[in-house]
């Protein structure tokens, strides 16, 4: 009798559980079915088409061979789905391209090298790598000094946008004098001139894109090609930016300093600004003081008090292709 009662109760429990759970199972199935039926194109992942060729520094690069096609595809995918980094790079470029491009032109460097700077630092003047490279152009300390930048505990001109760009132009010109083509120059910026020369000799080719190199350097040139495509047509990558999304150029005035400043915070206050804003506009100031030795003179940027507020209505895009509100 007891066993019979237990079996009946067990059956009742099973029915109750099924009655309770069944509505949720049906609901879940229906929701899943609705999602599948209502999925739109916006919910799907797509790939940016790999072009048959790209143009870099005036040279046409054939991308139809399978290895080049797939390398290019990898970098296009990276920029397509690295959403926050890609968008921030474009936002910052609106502030810094107007500064560096005229310097590149002045020094006879192809404008496409602005894209090398973009992949080096994501257009972040405060960028610093784990290896110690710093600034928009990611100079190592020794290379920075070699190309005329002051690098010490008080001053690090790798973080000075204008001076670092002039130094980068010197490097790029030296490399071009050595290699005679801009693709090799770009590769040497990552691997070093000596390594590219050695590999060209060992592998019996001057065609840098045909070299077998470590992965970072092998990807480097294709990343430049890909970021150029990103900047030329952000909407192809799914980025629809407005002019107001971009970062505007900062208005400032400059003062020349030839005497030691023992307290930069006090100096900032005397100039009608804050220590934080002083450091923001002059990231090359690496300490709380600024020694001026042997008649050394520095130019310090100070914010224009009348143009400090962010006004997105007046932000002008560096390129009209970057924005949708044309």
Average pLDDT of the residues in 22-50: 54
Query: What letter does residue 245 receive in the DSSP assignment?
Result: G
* Nearest of 136, 158, 132, 162 to residue 147 by alpha carbon: 158
- Confidence category of residue 28, pLDDT binned at 50, 70, 90: very low
Is the pLDDT assigned to residue 203 strictly greater than 80? Answer: yes
Count the Cβ atoms, other than its own, within 10 Å of residue 116.
Answer: 27
241-269: average pLDDT: 95
254 strand-pairing partners: 301
- pLDDT band (50, 70, 90) for residue 14: low
Half-sphere exposure of 121 (CA within 13 A, CB side): 27
* pLDDT confidence of residue 35: 47
User: Is the confidence at residue 303, as pLDDT, over 80?
Assistant: yes
Q: Which of 184, 178, 302, 316 is nearest to 251 (CA)?
A: 302
Percent of the chain at pLDDT > 90 equals 74
pLDDT of residue 67: 87
CB 150 within 8 A of CB 157: yes
pTM of the model: 0.83
Q: How many residues does the chain have?
A: 326
Q: How high is the mean pLDDT of the chain? A: 88
Instruction: Give me the half-sphere count of Cα atoms (radius 13 Å) on the Cβ side of residue 71.
Output: 23
The answer, yes or no, to whether residue 32 has pLDDT greater than 70, is no
Q: Give me the residue label for tokens 């495509």.
A: 229
Spatial CA neighbour of 299 closest among 135, 169, 150, 119: 150
Q: Helices 215-232 & 66-81, crossing angle to 10 degrees?
A: 60
**Angle between helix 113-121 and helix 182-191 axes, rounded to 10 deg:** 20
Least confident of 196-200, 259-263, 322-326: 322-326
Q: What is the pLDDT of residue 41?
A: 53
- pLDDT score for 206: 93
The number of CA neighbours under 13 Å toward the Cβ of 123 is: 25
* Bigger pLDDT: 277 vs 43: 277
What average pLDDT does range 166-172 have in this prediction? 98
Under the banding of pLDDT at 50, 70 and 90, the label for residue 295 is confident
Q: pLDDT at position 306, please? A: 84
Percentage of the chain beyond pLDDT 70 is 86
**Distance from C-alpha of 317 to C-alpha of 268, rounded to nearest angstrom:** 31
The whole-number average pLDDT for the span 106-113 is 98
What does the pLDDT read at residue 5? 47
Residue-by-residue DSSP string for 202-270: HTT-S-GGGS---HHHHHHHHHHHHHHHHHH-GGGGT--B-GGGSPPPPPEEEEEE-S-BS-HHHHHHH
């Amino acid at each position: 009798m007891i066993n019979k009662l237990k079996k009946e109760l067990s059956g009742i429990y099973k029915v109750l559980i099924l009655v309770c759970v069944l509505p949720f199972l049906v609901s879940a199935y229906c929701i899943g079915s609705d999602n599948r039926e209502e999925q739109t194109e916006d919910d799907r992942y797509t790939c940016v088409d790999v072009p048959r060729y790209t143009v870099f520094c005036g040279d046409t690069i054939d991308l139809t061979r399978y290895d080049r096609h797939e390398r290019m595809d990898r970098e296009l995918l990276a920029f397509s789905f690295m959403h926050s980094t890609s968008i921030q790079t474009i936002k910052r470029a609106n502030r810094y391209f107007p500064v560096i491009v005229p310097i590149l032109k002045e020094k006879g460097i192809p404008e496409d090298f602005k894209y090398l700077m973009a992949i080096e630092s994501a257009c972040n003047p405060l960028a610093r790598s784990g290896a110690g490279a710093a600034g928009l152009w990611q100079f190592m300390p020794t290379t920075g000094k070699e190309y005329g930048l002051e690098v010490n505990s008080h001053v690090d001109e790798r973080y000075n946008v204008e001076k670092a760009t002039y130094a980068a132009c010197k490097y790029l010109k030296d490399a071009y004098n050595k290699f005679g083509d801009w693709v090799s120059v770009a590769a040497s910026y990552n691997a070093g001139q000596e390594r590219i020369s050695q590999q060209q000799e060992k592998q019996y080719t001057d065609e840098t894109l045909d070299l077998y190199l470590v992965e970072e350097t092998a990807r480097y040139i294709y990343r430049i090609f890909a970021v150029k495509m990103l900047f030329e047509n952000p909407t192809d990558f799914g980025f629809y930016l407005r002019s107001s999304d971009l970062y505007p150029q900062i208005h400032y005035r400059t003062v020349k300093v030839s005497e030691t400043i023992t307290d930069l915070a006090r100096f900032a206050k005397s100039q009608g600004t804050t220590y934080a804003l002083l450091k923001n506009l002059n990231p090359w100031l690496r300490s709380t003081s600024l020694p001026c030795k042997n008649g050394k003179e520095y130019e310090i940027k100070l914010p224009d008090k009348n143009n400090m507020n962010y006004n997105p209505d007046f932000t002008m895009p560096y390129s009209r292709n970057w924005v949708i509100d044309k």
